[in-house]
Amino acid sequence: MTVKLEDVAKLAGVSPTTVSRVINNYGAISDKTKKAVHAAMNQLNYRPNTLARSLQGKSPHLIGLIFYDVSHPFFGELVSRLENLLFERGYKAILCNSANDPKKEREYLRLLAANQVDGIIAGAHNENIPEYKAYGLPIVSFDRNLAPTIPIVSSDNAQGGRLAASVLSANGVQAPLIITGKELPNSPTNARSQGFHDYFAAHGIESATMVIPFETAAAIRRTEIQRLLTKGQYDGIFCTDDLTAMQVHQQALTMGIRVPDDLKLIGYDGTRFIQNYYPALTTIVQPLDDIAKLLIDLLLKRINDHKADLDPNYLLPVSLHQGITA
């Protein structure tokens, strides 16, 4: 439930007019009263509405989008779809790139709450951000577990892991490896690894894991991948994002490793960018159009009815883009 100015006034033991005067630093007000009002604001996580004061109680029709980094092809394409769909429905978007910075993400949340956005779609990578629960805003998450009351939309990560494993297995892979980013506790994306390992375990084949954190610099990633390929332990690799798969492919070619003859390779995401400009890569395709539409549909339901009965998780099926790397 959104905290109102009247709630602050009640807790501070003053009138709403006094709260407004404190917020706007208008008129003669005692330090004691100012401290009481600010203490109440902090306790209730109330942030003054710097944008909508002039809207006279009307909805600003603004949606906050908090994502890792739109320079990444997957997030860039997802945010582009979200912004276009929101505009078609009469909403404007405020984009916040949180990168790998929890402090930055918390500041963006405070900014969005202060401007009283109608809701938030969040798909960042940071953990333990209590403001998602504290502000009481309508929120929908993409692929991240933010709070028990916030619904999560994901591609079917487990299905994607199994599909990648089945393609590698069908091509004779006996020593499979998955390269993944840092796995967060209770993150839906962990199911990609689980699905991959479960498939090979069911077929009596041991699969291995290599972790390269998402934020690792490109030069360090190349060094790690080169070291891996030099050992020659694996004949099939599944990368849980396409950019890593592209690096593996390029490094393999540089080292004279034949793909797919010597090494089978599969990525994950399958954006239009990858399919148009790197079509050789076999990859698991996330249904971006469906993801964007469902995120917005759920958020608008929650905006229109804060008590709307929404499921905790929504899974959308993935598909295979068949390139030549596997």
Are residues 268 and 177 part of one domain? Answer: yes
Q: Is residue 320 part of a domain?
A: no
According to DSSP, residue 53 is labeled G
**Predicted pLDDT of residue 182:** 76
Specify whether 178 is located in the same domain as 270. Answer: yes
Asked if residue 188 and residue 282 are part of one domain, the reply reads yes
pLDDT at 26: 57
Question: Minimal CA–CA distance to 211: which of 180, 239, 234?
Answer: 180
Q: In whole angstroms, what separates CA 242 from the centre of its chain?
A: 16
- The Cβ of residue 199 has, within 10 Å, a number of other Cβ atoms equal to 21
Q: Is 324 a member of any domain?
A: no
**Number of structural domains the chain divides into:** 3
- Cα 326 from Cα 264, distance rounded (Å): 5
For residues 203 and 280, membership in a common domain is answered with yes
Which pLDDT tens digits describe the chain residue by residue (326 residues)? 567 778 888 999 998 778 877 876 656 788 899 899 889 888 888 877 654 444 444 567 899 999 988 888 999 999 999 999 999 999 999 999 887 788 888 888 888 877 778 899 999 877 778 778 777 789 999 998 888 889 999 999 999 999 999 999 999 999 999 999 877 767 778 899 999 999 999 999 999 999 998 888 889 999 999 999 999 999 999 999 999 999 999 999 999 999 999 999 999 999 999 999 999 999 999 999 999 999 999 999 999 988 889 999 999 999 999 999 99
In a domain, 227, yes or no: yes
Radius of gyration, CA atoms only, the chain = 24
Residues 205 and 133 in one domain: no
Residue 233's domain comprises 157-287
pLDDT value at residue 1: 59
Looking at the structure, tell me whether residues 58 and 179 fall in a common domain. Answer: no
SS3 277: helix
Residue 321 counted as domain residue:
no
pLDDT at 59: 67
CB burial readout 263-284, b (16+ within 10 A) else e? bbbbbbbbbeebeeebeebbbb
The answer as to whether 117 is a domain residue is: yes
Strand stretches in 57-163, DSSP E: 62-67, 92-97, 119-123, 139-142, 152-155
- Residue 77 belongs to some domain of the structure: yes
Predicted pLDDT of residue 24: 61
**Contact by Cβ (8 Å): 125, 214:** yes
Tell me: do 145 and 240 sit in the same domain.
no
Shared-domain flag, residues 198 and 241: yes
Work out whether strand 264-269 and strand 282-285 pair parallel, antiparallel, or are unpaired. Answer: parallel
8 A C-beta contact, residue 135 and residue 45: yes
CATH of the domain at 118: 3.40.50.2300
Residues 217 and 307 in one domain: no
Residues 65 and 144 in one domain: yes
At position 244, the amino acid (one-letter code) is T
Burial of 242 (0-12, 13-18, 19+ CB in 10 A): buried
- Determine, yes or no, domain membership for 301: yes
Distance (Å) of CA 250 to CA 48, 104, 156? 51, 34, 28
Domain assignment present for 251: yes
Structure tokens at 118: 């109608």
Is the domain of 241 the same as that of 265?
yes
**77 within 8 A of 273, measured Cβ to Cβ:** yes
What pLDDT is attached to residue 53? 46
219 and 277 in a single domain? The answer is yes
Size (the chain), residues? 326
